[in-house]
Copies of this chain bind each other. A is one copy, B any other.
Amino acid sequence: MPVPQTNFSPPFNITRASHIVITVRDLALSREFYTEVIGLLVTHEEDDALYLRGVEETCHHSLILREASGAPVCETLGFRVFQDADLDRAKQHFDAAGIETRWVETPFQGRSLRLRDAVGIPIELCATMPTLPRLHDKPHLQRGAAALRYDHVQCLAPDVAEAGRFYADLGFRVSDYFVDKPENDEEPLGMFMFRKNNPHDMVFLTRPGPQLHHFAYIVAEVHHLFRALDTAGAIGFERNLERGPGRHGQGHVFYVYFRDPDGHRVEILPPPIQIIDLDDAPVRWHSGNRFTWDLPPPKKWLHEATRFKDTPLRAPDVAVNLFSLEDYLSGAK
């Protein structure tokens, strides 16, 4: 099987993808997009930063926006560990592995351990945040898609297998992977990895990387996708829709992809399937079983992404065959 073996006794317990820090050039404009269209709640506000969470989330924040000039970047991808002691175990593990780490203090979250993963993505582990009440059943306080909770992040990497092995060693399982053609069994070109009980905490696609392709929030029902779109159309974000509404070929979920005012891509999706049992072996997708009714993605969805801060790009060794909406409309197969 061309996917990495999961370490079922990982050195410490990562529980989920939990938060992300990105830079934006106009905090007020981004605030409007994320609160009115995506429907996040502002938990804390500073002159040059905004802390937001989904309406169901008790954690203080799942998205930090930092105002900065220059090209917008992603500063770090956050993951939760179960207990504070897991952070010490993580430190020991990475020390032993020769991976550089550093402790950082971020307002409104416990001590956090920063490092870069195998393909250079800056990640951060933390165990606690202050909590706030869930507001998922308070529609009078909700806007737009009323995004419930941060769910996963998708990254581009030049070597998906290499990236995957790093996370598999930390206990991540593979739910799904893509290969090019039905008949071959080479390296995966895409891989969904998870810790919590659904198919994705971290997803990799083979492309020049590392780059952030998108981060994703769960919404309650499919009509919330339309609610976000109508709001976007009504308040001036009508050209921020990039792809959808559609259903992902591998059957998980419906989706809508927006580009935020700085070009960061954010997905909203209704609750995906549950995966817990070991019986649920990784599912192999290829050109022959992957797509159902949705149209292929436009070229910019395939190729544009957010750079990670201070992180050089590397191109894949393999050529990836990407079929775009433009190809589809021109009659190509």
How far is B131's CA from A278's CA once the two chains are assembled, in angstroms?
Answer: 11
**Interface contact B274-A149, CB-CB below 8 Å:** yes
**Interface contact A247-B274, CB-CB below 8 Å:** no
Contact of A234 among B137, B234, B274, B298 (CB under 8 A): B137
Contact of A230 among B241, B247, B279, B325 (CB under 8 A): B247
How far in angstroms is the closest Cβ of chain B from A299? 7
Q: Which residue of the partner chain B has the closest CB to A240?
A: B293
Interface flag for A317 (CB, 8 Å): no
CB contacts under 8 Å to B, within A1-45, are 8, 15-16, 36
**Interface contact B197-A251, CB-CB below 8 Å:** no
The stretch from A69-77, A97-105, A218-226, A259-267 touching chain B is: A218-226
How far is B221's CA from A80's CA once the two chains are assembled, in angstroms?
Answer: 28
Counted per complex, copies of this chain come to 4
How far in angstroms is the closest Cβ of chain B from A85? 10
**Interface contact B15-A276, CB-CB below 8 Å:** yes
Contact with B along A188-215 (1 / 0, CB 8 A): 0000000011000000000000000000
Interface flag for A302 (CB, 8 Å): no
How far in angstroms is the closest Cβ of chain B from A220? 8
How far is B234's CA from A27's CA once the two chains are assembled, in angstroms?
Answer: 31
CB contacts under 8 Å to B, within A230-266, are 230-235, 237-238, 241, 245, 247, 251, 254
Contact with B along A47-84 (1 / 0, CB 8 A): 00000000010110000000000000000000010110
The stretch from A115-123, A138-146, A158-166, A304-312 touching chain B is: A138-146
B residues near A141, Cβ cutoff 8 Å: 234
- Chain A interface residue count, CB cutoff 8 Å, equals 68
Interface flag for A280 (CB, 8 Å): yes
How far in angstroms is the closest Cβ of chain B from A171? 12
How far is B221's CA from A251's CA once the two chains are assembled, in angstroms?
Answer: 17
How far is B232's CA from A293's CA once the two chains are assembled, in angstroms?
Answer: 7
**Interface contact A230-B293, CB-CB below 8 Å:** yes
**Interface contact B276-A16, CB-CB below 8 Å:** yes
18 contacts between A and B (CB under 8 A): A83-B278, A128-B277, A129-B279, A137-B230, A137-B234, A138-B230, A140-B143, A140-B231, A140-B234, A196-B274, A220-B270, A221-B221, A229-B294, A230-B247, A232-B293, A233-B247, A241-B293, A241-B294
Q: Could you list which residues of chain A lie within 8 angstroms of chain B, going by C-beta atoms? A: 8, 15-16, 36, 56, 58-59, 80, 82-83, 127-129, 131, 134, 136-141, 143-144, 148-149, 196-197, 220-223, 226-227, 229-235, 237-238, 241, 245, 247, 251, 254, 270-271, 273-274, 276-281, 291-295, 298-299, 325-326, 329-330
